[in-house]
């Protein structure tokens, strides 16, 4: 404990901690949340544009549209890793993230100017590169500020913002499409212009509010900075700004950790299930509603998902568990995949679409919580692990984009996603066995057994703090 805190009583430290967390929640969460809403709106507006005729305007086939959807991830995925390694060495990560927001907003607005399929491919690829900064950077950024008992609900807040973006995106697109033909500009072009311009402006404003890391934040007093750093150090033996581990060494440690490889595979299977977001308006439109009604009907499932995410993560934080919640989501998702394949009843199919967004994507929240607590140190390792899981795991979005054909029952899509869900359950069970074995070694007190745990990714400082793999 730093000298500034040693003279304070436990009640004073608790009051100061509560005040600090409130300040973090009032400044960090709204800013990150707003940016993530913009991130998802800009990424998913192509699905809405399809209902307004972008495929006809650019003379694209169904297969070409699938390529346009998947090409974003060709730029998005590989650039996450170097970006997240870089953010650990940047003193103002908030400014770095906001600059990326301004760049991708400009690129998104420029999409309105494309005239051919090839031009759209090029713009979407570049957009993916610019957006690569945000999500893994935001997860790492939150884990630099919040303790293990606080992080789950904050990651949930990020995913709730994602669902707000999905829900609001459909409603906003339905309104913007009313401008179709004004000044000779198609509705889908207006969508890219308005949403891209808004992203640029809001990104510039948020750059003025995003704080730095706890140890150098200008929004905190010196006493609050000391507490913010100590909160993280007391859990993992180190905090941002207190380690000298090189980026490349942290990256190498991440790659050599078997747990990371299993989490990457789990996220790949989970992201495949989450690919329904890229085609959700198309899935709803298969119920034979008009394009406007279909866009409006995409909102309720995402609103429900936002509420469920908070409940899941609140329970996870309170009970310090994730494994049974992951299995519950997988079980629910499997049932929901079966319904649209076996019936054409509109009510039953829309019910499954109400449930699928939270059941298919919910496990991702728990995976990111696991990554940032199980692979906590060194800092560069955690940043690399978060990026690797999202980048390599996200490759499933590329091939999954080609599954959504043969409406209305989409046998290939739902059958493949159900297979992914079952394999996910088996893999996360293997991961659970692995971390419980590591805990047994730590509990043994045998130096030889503990050395094996250290070799597998736990630091000596964490062992001294009696750190354990939790939640499984």
- Alpha carbon distance 374, 383 (integer Å): 12
Reported as type and span, the H/E element at residue 306 is helix 299-319
| Dihedral class, residue 321 (left if φ above 0, else alpha if ψ from -120 to 50, else beta) | beta
Both tokens of 109, joined, read 């607005």
Work out the widest C-alpha separation in the chain, in whole angstroms.
Answer: 76
- Alpha carbon distance 284, 297 (integer Å): 7
Cα–chain center distance at 242: 27
The contacts of residue 432 (CB under 8 Å, 6+ apart) are 323, 472
The predicted pLDDT at position 357 comes to 86
The predicted pLDDT at position 376 comes to 62
The predicted pLDDT at position 244 comes to 59
Contact 180, 291 (CB under 8 A): no
Query: What is the DSSP-derived secondary structure letter of residue 116?
Result: S
Q: pTM of this prediction?
A: 0.72
| Dihedral class, residue 349 (left if φ above 0, else alpha if ψ from -120 to 50, else beta) | alpha
Cα–chain center distance at 279: 18
- Alpha carbon distance 215, 124 (integer Å): 37
Both tokens of 462, joined, read 């964490």
The predicted pLDDT at position 314 comes to 85
- Alpha carbon distance 367, 390 (integer Å): 10
Measure the CA angle with vertex 161, ends 180 and 358; round to 5°: 100
- Alpha carbon distance 86, 16 (integer Å): 32
Residues of the chain with pLDDT under 70: 235-247, 250, 376-379
Q: Dump pLDDT digits (tens) for 213-254.
A: 888 888 888 888 888 888 887 765 555 555 556 667 767 777
Domain annotation for the chain: domains and CATH numbers: 3-464 (1.20.1250.20)
Q: Read off φ and ψ for residue 321, nearest 5 degrees.
A: -145, 150
Closest-CA residue to 211 (of 32, 37, 4): 32
The predicted pLDDT at position 302 comes to 83
Q: Would you list the DSSP string of 251-291?
A: HHHHHT-HHHHHHHHHHHHHHHHHGGGGGHHHHHHTTS--H
Measure the CA angle with vertex 170, ends 168 and 171; round to 5°: 65
What is the CB neighbour count within 10 angstroms for residue 414? 24
Q: Would you list the DSSP string of 157-174?
A: HHHHHHHHHHHHHHHHHH
* Cis peptide bond N-terminal to 159, omega within 30: no
Both tokens of 180, joined, read 């179709």
CB neighbour class for 455 (10 Å; exposed up to 12, middle 13-18, buried from 19): exposed
- Alpha carbon distance 95, 319 (integer Å): 35
The predicted pLDDT at position 237 comes to 55
Place of tokens 């003193």: 91
Torsion 442-447-450-454 (CA) sign:
positive
């Amino acid at each position: 404990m730093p000298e500034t805190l040693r003279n304070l009583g436990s009640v004073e430290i608790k009051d100061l901690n509560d005040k600090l967390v409130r300040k973090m929640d009032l400044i960090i969460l709204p800013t990150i949340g707003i940016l993530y809403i913009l991130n998802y709106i800009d990424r998913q507006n192509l699905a809405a544009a399809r209902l307004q005729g972008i495929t006809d305007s650019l003379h694209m086939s169904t297969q070409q549209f699938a390529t346009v959807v998947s090409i974003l991830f060709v730029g998005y995925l590989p650039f996450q890793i170097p970006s997240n390694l870089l953010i650990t060495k940047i003193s103002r990560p908030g400014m770095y993230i906001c600059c990326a927001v301004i760049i991708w907003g400009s690129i998104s607005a420029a999409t309105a100017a494309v005239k051919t399929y090839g031009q759209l491919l090029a713009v979407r690829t570049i957009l993916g590169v610019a957006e690569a900064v945000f999500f893994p950077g935001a997860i790492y950024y939150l884990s630099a500020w919040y303790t293990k008992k606080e992080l789950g609900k904050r990651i949930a807040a990020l995913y709730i913002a994602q669902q707000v973006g999905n829900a609001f995106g459909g409603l906003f697109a339905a309104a913007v499409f009313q401008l179709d033909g004004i000044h000779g500009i198609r509705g889908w072009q207006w969508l890219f212009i308005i949403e891209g311009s808004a992203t640029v402006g809001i990104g510039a404003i948020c750059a003025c509010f995003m704080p730095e890391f706890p140890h150098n934040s200008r929004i905190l007093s010196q006493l609050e900075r000391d507490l913010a750093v100590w909160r993280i150090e007391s859990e993992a033996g180190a905090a941002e700004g207190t380690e000298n581990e090189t980026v490349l060494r942290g990256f190498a440690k991440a790659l050599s950790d078997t747990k990371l490889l299993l989490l990457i595979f789990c996220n790949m299977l989970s992201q495949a299930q989450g690919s329904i977001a890229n085609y959700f308006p198309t899935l709803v439109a298969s119920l034979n509603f008009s394009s406007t009604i279909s866009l409006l009907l995409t909102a309720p499932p995402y609103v429900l998902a936002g509420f469920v995410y908070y409940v899941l993560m609140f329970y996870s934080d309170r009970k310090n568990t994730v494994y049974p919640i992951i299995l519950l989501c997988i079980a629910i998702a499997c049932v929901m995949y079966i319904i649209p394949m076996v019936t054409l009843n509109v009510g039953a199919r829309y019910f499954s679409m109400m449930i699928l967004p939270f059941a298919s994507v919910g496990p991702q929240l728990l995976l990111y919580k696991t990554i940032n607590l199980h692979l906590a140190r060194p800092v560069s390792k955690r940043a690399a692990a978060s990026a690797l899981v999202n980048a390599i795991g996200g490759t499933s979005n590329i091939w999954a984009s080609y599954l959504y054909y043969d409406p209305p029952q989409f046998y290939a899509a739902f059958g493949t996603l159900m297979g992914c869900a079952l394999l996910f359950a088996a893999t996360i069970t293997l991961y659970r066995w692995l971390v419980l074995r590591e805990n047994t070694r730590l509990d043994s007190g045998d130096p030889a057994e503990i050395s094996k745990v250290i070799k597998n990714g736990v630091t000596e400082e964490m062992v001294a703090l009696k750190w354990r793999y939790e939640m499984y």
